[in-house]
Amino acid sequence: AGHAVLAVPGVGAARLEDAGFTAVTSGNWDDEDPPASVVLYADPADQGTAAEVAATLGIALVELSEAVDGVTAVLADDYVPE
C-alpha cells in the first residue's frame, strides 16, 4: 500500500487509510457515472495497487483507463460501506 488513491465518498477513503494507503483524497467524480463501482488505473504498472484498492473496498471491477491519473475508485450507487 502507499499509492495515492481518490475515493468517493469519504467513507471509502477512511477504509483505504485504515488498510495502510497513504495520500488518499476524496472528491467528486466529474465524468459520467458508471453503472457499478469501479477502480480505474492509468498505468499498467498500477494494476496491482488498483486490485488492492478494489479488494479493500469490495469492488469487483478494475479497469485500465485514460480518464484518470494514478488509481481512482469511483463509488456508484451499488457501493455499500462497511
How high is the pLDDT of residue 2?
A: 44
Give the global pTM.
Answer: 0.84
How high is the pLDDT of residue 11?
A: 66
**Measured between alpha carbons, how far is 68 from 18 in angstroms, rounded to an integer?**
23
Cell of 8: 468517493
As averages over each run of 10 residues, the pLDDT of the chain (82 residues) reads: 53 82 80 90 94 93 93 87 72
Long-range CB pairs of 64-68 (<8 Å, 24+ gap) are 64/40, 65/40, 65/41, 66/42, 67/31, 67/40, 68/6, 68/40, 68/41, 68/42
